[in-house]
Structure 1
Amino acid sequence: MPVVTKRKIYHALAVCYRQLSAPPPSYWHQPSADPLLAVTVGQLVDSAADRFGPREALVSCHQGVRLTFSEVKRRVGARGVVAAEACYPKVLRMAPQLSHSPPGDLQCADVPDLATVVFMEGERKRGAFQLRELMDSATRGSLGVITNQQLSIQPDDGCNILFTSGTTAKPKAAILTHHNIINNSYFVGKRMQFDEKHHRICLQVPLFHCYGFCSGVLAALHHGATVVLPSLYFNTKASLDAIEKEKCTVVYGTPTMYVDLVAERDFEDRRFENLEAAVSSGSPISHPLFLELKRKFGVRKVGSLYSLTETSSVVFQSQPTDSEDQMLNTVGAVSQHVEVKVVDEQRKVVPMGTVGELCVRGYVTVARYWSDEESTRRLYYRERWLRTGDLFIMREDGYGKLVGHLRDRIIRDGENIFPKEIQELLETHPDILETQVFGVPHERWGQQICACIRLKRGSTLTSDAVREFASGKISDFKIPSIIEIVDELPRNPSGKIQTLQLREAVMEKYGIKDVAIYGW
């Protein structure tokens, strides 16, 4: 019989105490009382028409078009590659045979699968259809063929190909299934409480990314919300007009869009009494902008979405009952039926409250990249955990905090620096409208910090004044060594700032030679 001494008892108690007091691992699975849906996009359109038939489904302000849910169903049926009129020269460079091909019969060796090109507006182009004539050409027979084809389409079939944003790397074509986007959009709308009353959504963001298409259009179809499109391209005055005149209850945008909206000259003369919530995605929203949105729009909620094309859009989302701390300092709570974990460089799960790479598993993850097996292979860890490449902190309440992107990490003289911290500090300056921080090569330090800053109208703030403002608020080695005051920050069509373009422009201006970018 072993002897139990006081020392052994104290040791056992100490071990138990450490185990009980240690934070749990950074893993979270968000269950839901609502099961996953096994339907296709076509079936969703049919169902929406049956449930919400005469209700307004779409308002296109710049086109003067209004469609009910029943009319949307009748308009469905055309298939093609659709582009804006301004894209015609780009399409010709890609497929020069288009200019002397019959519409619908393009034959080009460089893009052998592309046969049909459709332009949304303008005069008819050689080799292409106009969207209007294509829609008008639908017959009862052709629509019947499409209806019959719906019976053979399965929820796990590929539904659409969406390109990643390409702000820091070459865009990749992600193949998403009906199951991916139908379910993600349903739960996005559910958490937004679109199912509790009729909402009108001012959708400022493009429809060729998950944010606009899945979280916007499809979520509206699920729950009977009206989508209001203010303009063909983002325009501050058109957006403000739409929110006011169409009595929108929700507005979707990116932080950059909101910066421009609240800076609009005639903002103060407008009334937004119907607006209840502003939703942001693309990048975290800063504290000053958060307060400005609540003050100027008068909204009760400023919600966040953390989304990736590779996860059919949303992984984290704000909840209706969030506190100001949760709205401001997190990207929301884990979405329904989704698993997440945060891992270190050895792929081990880290404790809650510890920084690591976010990984995602569940119905949301992309099937594969189109014709890119190598990128698909690199996307996943073992057991189908999708790598996001984003650094996160998981909280014990199921909320996540985005620390930064692995690809954006700056390593200066051995120190890990994340641009988000510096951007958030600089944007608290009353003269600074928005900032983009990134690293450029340096012979001695490896990388140095650069900040491109857009000032508010009429400001005369200088680079030296910016450094003086940052001094004492962050470590000296985090203060940017290069500060560029710019009139505009380059953006892609979805409104995200093009960091690669900024980096290349700064390197060219200062004669900096490129070197390998550090990775995880």
Structure 2
Amino acid sequence: EKFDQACQQYANHDAVVSMHQNKRLTYRELQAQVNAFACSLLKLGLRKGDRLAIWSPNCVEWTITQFAAFKAGIILVNLNPAYKSNELEYVLNKVSCKGLVIGSQFKTTNYQAILTHIAPELPHAVNKVLFSECLPYLKHVIKIDQQEHPGIHRFDDLLVTPSQKQLDELASISNELQFDETINIQFTSGTTGNPKGTMLTHNNILNNGYFVGEAIHLTPQDRVCISVPLFHCFGMVMGNLACLTHGSTMVYPAAAFNPLDTLKTIQREKCTAAYGVPTMFIAMLEQESFDEFDLSSLRTGIMAGSPCPREIMQRVMERMHMSDITICYGMTETAPVSAQTHTDDSIECRVGTVGRVHPHLEIKIVDEQGKVVPRGSLGELCVRGYSVMLGYWEDEDKTKEVVDVAKWMHTGDIAEMDEQGFVKIKGRIKDIVIRGGENLFPKEIEDFLY
């Protein structure tokens, strides 16, 4: 519903710009391609609740796949483009993927070759329907490529204009979707054991994207430079869904982060916001040609993923003109953001804290017995509200380890909250280093070294 509303409201406005592909789509054009791809998925036999994985770096087709799956009620499974064959096989079978969209070659990764190594039957698939011993659930492989490949559907061939009957069928499916149904599975890379499939609903991700966009005051005039991966919540939710819910433009500078491409894109597309982890901003600032770029269009953005040293924050705000940059804290299991700084918070708040709790969410900090600690005391950060995942796919035991009966998500992060409600993340419970009887957190050691 929200997708179609945005496409009607901002029809002639740029929706997606992909610099490395030299492609741009208005919201109206994006809607037409999303509808076409969704109808083709249904025609291939994918149904509401089936799983469709995407294994590709950032591109327009990633975004078309995202919204097409969401409209058809097909569960989108985000795969890390860096997966090796054993990880790919595990996740495709874990969630019984029926369809898979793959990118063409990227850097040294040949997606088709890796897939064919697991499923040698692929080039011989009759009528492009796969029957594989190692991937028994996978039936359709779709490749983002100009060339034809035996056994594989070409992405562009599935963008044919659908009939009115097909569009009506898609609309009736969309109308039946429930806000609390799983629509996205994102795998979290556990430090031990296999990755866990986080089940996220329309309610989780659409609202989180909206509130992230609200926090940085996005409008239809904004153009957001999304250098972070789409397979991750940072790109897909905080990027694509924040833009969609505000009629802003999603801008992809490259298939994967490249500091020079990002600077060129910000200048050429007059981006008003930029996303990244601190090391990305450092890489841009350290470019020899940095001063040659006009970044005066920038005003805001998001830095997340790890704490930011004060000196870097100062340089980003002054030299990149991002006076309204914000810091976010979150995790995949909370879709992802649960705390964020405001655009007018002091620089101390932006480097020393992760801001305050997001709207319509609750945060508490508890001791080892589960009791709430006083303000200014350390404990484990817990989050509750609309953004908490449904659970891990077919793993009730692991879900119960992190989400309690009262629906609090136990993050595993040690934090403290001050009198104003600002949250400081000290580190992971598992990462505490004990030195001379004192608890030290990696951040304290890193700050000292930096």
Shorter chain as denominator, the TM-score bin is 0.7 to 0.9
102, 106, 116: which is aligned to 1:83?
Answer: 102
SS in 1 for 2:312: helix
SS in 2 for 1:322: coil
Aligned to 2:14: 56
Consecutive unaligned residues in structure 2, runs of 5 or more? 42-98, 105-109
1:102 deviates by: 3.6
Question: 1:478-502: per-residue Cα shift (whole Å, max 9, x none)?
Answer: xxxxxxxxxxxxxxxxxxxxxxxxx
What is the Cα-based RMSD across aligned positions, in Å? 1.9
Query: C-alpha separation between the residues in 2 aligned to 1:398 and 1:176?
Result: 27
Q: Is the 8 A contact 1:103 1:128 kept in 2?
A: no
Query: C-alpha separation between the residues in 2 aligned to 1:191 and 1:137?
Result: 38
Query: C-alpha separation between the residues in 1 aligned to 2:129 and 2:418?
Result: 55
Residues 120-269 of structure 1 aligned to structure 2 (within 5 Å) = 120-121=144-145, 123-136=147-160, 138-166=162-190, 170-195=194-219, 198-269=221-292
Q: Is the 8 A contact 2:260 2:287 kept in 1?
A: yes
Aligned to 2:420: 397
Query: C-alpha separation between the residues in 1 aligned to 2:112 and 2:375?
Result: 51
Aligned to 1:479: none
SS in 2 for 1:180: helix
Q: Is the 8 A contact 2:225 2:253 kept in 1?
A: yes
Q: Amino acid of the residue matched to residue 119 of structure 1?
A: K
Q: Is the 8 A contact 2:128 2:150 kept in 1?
A: no
- Count of residues paired in the alignment: 384
Larger Rg: 1
After TM superposition, the score normalised by the length of structure 1 is 0.70
Query: C-alpha separation between the residues in 2 aligned to 1:331 and 1:304?
Result: 6
SS in 2 for 1:163: strand
Percent identical? 37
Q: Larger deviation: 290-299 or 138-147?
A: 138-147
Query: C-alpha separation between the residues in 2 aligned to 1:108 and 1:408?
Result: 41
Residues 346-495 of structure 1 aligned to structure 2 (within 5 Å) = 346-412=369-435, 414-427=437-450
Aligned to 2:139: 115
1:137 deviates by: 6.5
1:171 deviates by: 2.7
SS in 2 for 1:349: coil
Distance 1:300 1:411, change over 3 A: same
Distance 1:384 1:104, change over 3 A: farther
Q: Is the 8 A contact 2:11 2:27 kept in 1?
A: yes
Distance 1:179 1:232, change over 3 A: same
Q: Is the 8 A contact 1:103 1:117 kept in 2?
A: no
SS in 2 for 1:383: coil
Question: 1:248-299: per-residue Cα shift (whole Å, max 9, x none)?
Answer: 0000111121121111121111111111023111111111221221232122
Q: Is the 8 A contact 1:176 1:312 kept in 2?
A: yes
Q: Is the 8 A contact 2:182 2:201 kept in 1?
A: yes
Question: 1:386-431: per-residue Cα shift (whole Å, max 9, x none)?
Answer: 111111111221221111112222234654221111112222xxxx
SS in 1 for 2:121: helix
Q: Larger deviation: 138-147 or 300-309?
A: 138-147
Query: C-alpha separation between the residues in 2 aligned to 1:399 and 1:157?
Result: 32
Q: Is the 8 A contact 2:309 2:447 kept in 1?
A: yes
Query: C-alpha separation between the residues in 1 aligned to 2:434 and 2:123?
Result: 49
SS in 1 for 2:307: coil
1:122 deviates by: 5.4
Query: C-alpha separation between the residues in 1 aligned to 2:207 and 2:146?
Result: 36
SS in 2 for 1:238: helix
SS in 2 for 1:232: coil
Query: C-alpha separation between the residues in 2 aligned to 1:55 and 1:299?
Result: 24
1:314 deviates by: 0.6
Q: Amino acid of the residue matched to residue 252 of structure 1?
A: Y
Aligned to 1:324: 347
Q: Amino acid of the residue matched to residue 372 of structure 1?
A: D
Distance 1:413 1:325, change over 3 A: closer
1:373 deviates by: 2.0
Aligned to 1:19: none
SS in 1 for 2:275: strand
Aligned to 2:338: 315
Aligned to 1:281: 304
Question: 1:430-487: per-residue Cα shift (whole Å, max 9, x none)?
Answer: xxxxxxxxxxxxxxxxxxxxxxxxxxxxxxxxxxxxxxxxxxxxxxxxxxxxxxxxxx
29, 37, 46: which is aligned to 2:4?
Answer: 46
Q: Amino acid of the residue matched to residue 267 of structure 1?
A: F
Aligned to 1:69: 27
Query: C-alpha separation between the residues in 2 aligned to 1:329 and 1:175?
Result: 31
After TM superposition, the score normalised by the length of structure 2 is 0.81
Query: C-alpha separation between the residues in 1 aligned to 2:166 and 2:116?
Result: 30
Query: C-alpha separation between the residues in 2 aligned to 1:211 and 1:354?
Result: 29
Query: C-alpha separation between the residues in 1 aligned to 2:403 and 2:138?
Result: 30
